[in-house]
Amino acid sequence: MMSQIPIILSKVRQADVDKEILRAAIIAELDAVNMYEQMANMTDNAHIKTVLLDIAKEEKTHVGEFQEMLLRLDAQQKEELAHGREEVEELVGKP
């Protein structure tokens, strides 16, 4: 689990600091999703499972919020995300 930002922000260009903060936040939220879903799969207690999966769902919303902010700040990220979607559609078709 992550407890520190995985980069040294003082070594990042000032223009990129906010983007790096958002990326670190996305990593932290995805880490939380994985942890809560793994714990939910480990327990036999239906109440605990329900709460863990609900919290994991909330963390996924947080990922979306941070991603939206990142896409507003980083045009290249937005462009490459679209390219990735196109490549997947070419490989496996549209959902």
**Mind listing the pLDDT tens digit for each residue in 10-20?**
788 888 899 99
Residues contacting 1, CB < 8 A, separation 6+: 31, 35
Residues contacting 19, CB < 8 A, separation 6+: 70, 73, 74, 77
Is the pTM higher than 0.75? The answer reads yes
**Mind listing the pLDDT tens digit for each residue in 16-47?**
899 999 999 999 999 999 999 999 999 999 99
